[in-house]
């Protein structure tokens, strides 16, 4: 269904007495999931799939979503985030990307929030309504096992790109640029991608685990979340590996918290987010200084941004304003994007774009698509990037990308 199509939808959300764990009810053919800390949404079937491209892709999606909501009949007795008319979304990173950006409206959504389980059915007017229940789920099939190798950007090529970027930064062309590299692998015939999703959800419960239109990952970074006229975002920039024991782990966190290189990189990212959000909010607040966020394999510098959303602004409006942040592009934005296009020999696709969901009220939860892979047929492409500043070291940045690949590579390369 194209973005210009305006279906008339009938939507009904009712409570469920109980729902099993989301990872137990993923659809085998097209797993559709948004989950963090046991709460979230899992979808089945397809009522509508809207595609967008170009520089106005998020704004076009916001307009199309407004039209769909205006023509929908919604009955929602649950009234929780994610209930009622809801679309899953995933957006390409670059304006020129060949990858489509999508909003996907499933036939059935099973949700859980604040201890309440619910089911939403969405049908096109005149069609037979979907059954308000958990569909029959196929047993888990062959576990995927993928051997990754360098994609279009080799390790040597990445080091060279970092060195070139450092030279441009020292020359004054920009303050920061985020450069990524890619890995490629192939799924065996009959492999079931659901075990990978389950591993990510269980290994990284504090991250946003997602599976939307073939984009699968667990992102630690909240781009923006809007609930009932309030918004919050979490900015991550600055990274260190976890230590090998309690002592070295604390040393790694302390070194990160005092690293001038990482603190500078983080400050650029926070300023980018605040500047982008201010036109859409009545007030904003941030922490006085970043804190260290512990993940299973990494430490990050993190800052939370909170505020009140101005009248009429939706989560998609905020996504359009924020993307791409300095955390995934650089500073100044346009100069960084030009250098990314020059130095990265591949299309990022939806990597580092926005991924999440939007509801009928405009509320939603959106993360930056990091620690992820794109699955297209048998081909699996993983991406990881690092922020390059004036004193970056090419070998250190390469090692950081290897750390960032670890979640998806381990989920797809299990040890027997």
- At 4 the pLDDT is 43
- At 415 the pLDDT is 54
Q: Residue 333 has which token pair?
A: 């934005």
The domain tally of the chain equals: 1
Q: Is the pLDDT of residue 2 over 60?
A: no
User: Which residue range(s) make up the domain with 331?
Assistant: 9-124+145-412
- At 208 the pLDDT is 95
Most confident of 12-26, 38-52, 116-130, 276-290: 38-52
Buried b / exposed e over 165-181, threshold 16 CB at 10 Å, is: bbebbeeeebbbbbbbb
> Is residue 77 domain-resident?
yes
C-alpha to C-alpha distance for 95 and 120, rounded to whole angstroms: 33
> Is residue 131 domain-resident?
no
Q: Is the pLDDT of residue 383 over 90?
A: yes
> Is residue 46 domain-resident?
yes
Judged on CB neighbours under 10 Å (0-12, 13-18, 19+), 4 is exposed
> Is residue 138 domain-resident?
no
Q: Is the pLDDT of residue 184 over 80?
A: yes
CATH of residue 212 = 3.60.120.10
Q: Is the pLDDT of residue 249 over 80?
A: yes
- At 392 the pLDDT is 92
Which of 2-16, 171-185, 296-310 is predicted least confidently?
2-16
C-alpha to C-alpha distance for 176 and 272, rounded to whole angstroms: 12
C-alpha to C-alpha distance for 74 and 55, rounded to whole angstroms: 32
Q: Is the pLDDT of residue 121 over 50?
A: yes
> Is residue 63 domain-resident?
yes
Catalytic residues, by residue number, are 176, 221
Q: Is the pLDDT of residue 118 over 70?
A: yes
Which of 68-82, 210-224, 246-260 is predicted least confidently?
246-260
287 compared with 324, residue with greater pLDDT: 324
């Amino acid at each position: 269904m194209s973005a210009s199509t305006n279906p008339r939808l009938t939507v009904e959300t009712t409570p469920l007495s109980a729902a099993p764990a989301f990872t137990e009810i993923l659809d085998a053919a097209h797993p559709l999931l948004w989950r963090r800390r046991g709460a979230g949404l899992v979808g089945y079937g397809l009522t509508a799939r809207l595609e967008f491209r170009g520089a106005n892709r998020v704004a076009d999606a916001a307009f199309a979503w407004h039209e769909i909501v205006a023509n929908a009949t919604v009955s929602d007795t649950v009234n929780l985030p994610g209930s009622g008319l809801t679309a899953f979304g995933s957006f390409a990173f670059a304006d020129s990307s060949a990858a489509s950006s999508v909003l996907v409206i499933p036939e059935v959504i099973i949700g859980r929030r604040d201890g309440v389980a619910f089911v939403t059915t969405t049908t096109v007017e005149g069609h037979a309504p979907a059954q308000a229940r958990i569909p029959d789920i196929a047993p888990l099939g062959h576990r995927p096992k993928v051997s990754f190798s360098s994609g279009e950007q080799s390790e040597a090529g990445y080091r060279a790109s970092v060195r070139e970027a450092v030279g441009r930064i020292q020359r004054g062309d920009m303050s920061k640029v985020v450069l990524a590299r890619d890995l490629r692998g192939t799924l065996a015939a009959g492999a079931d991608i659901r075990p990978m999703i389950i591993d990510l959800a269980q290994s990284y419960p504090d991250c946003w685990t997602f599976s939307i239109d073939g984009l699968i990952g667990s992102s630690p970074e909240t781009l923006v979340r809007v609930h009932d006229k309030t918004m919050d975002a979490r900015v991550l920039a600055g990274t260190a590996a976890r230590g090998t024991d309690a002592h070295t782990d604390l040393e790694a966190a302390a070194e990160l918290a005092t690293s001038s290189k990482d603190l500078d990189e983080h400050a650029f990212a926070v300023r980018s987010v605040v500047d982008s959000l201010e036109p859409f909010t009545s007030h904003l607040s941030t922490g006085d200084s970043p804190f260290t966020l512990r993940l299973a394999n990494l430490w990050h510098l993190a800052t939370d941004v909170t505020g009140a959303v101005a009248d009429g602004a939706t989560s998609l409006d905020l996504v359009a304003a924020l993307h791409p942040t300095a955390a995934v592009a650089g500073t100044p934005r346009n100069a960084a994007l030009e250098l990314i296009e020059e130095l990265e020999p591949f299309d990022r696709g939806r990597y580092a774009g926005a991924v999440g969901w939007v509801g009928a009220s405009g509320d939603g939860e959106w993360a930056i698509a990091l620690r992820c892979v794109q699955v297209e047929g048998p081909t699996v492409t993983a991406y990881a990037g690092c922020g390059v500043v004036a004193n970056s070291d090419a070998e250190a940045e390469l090692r950081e990308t290897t750390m960032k690949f670890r979640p998806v590579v381990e989920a797809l390369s299990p040890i027997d």
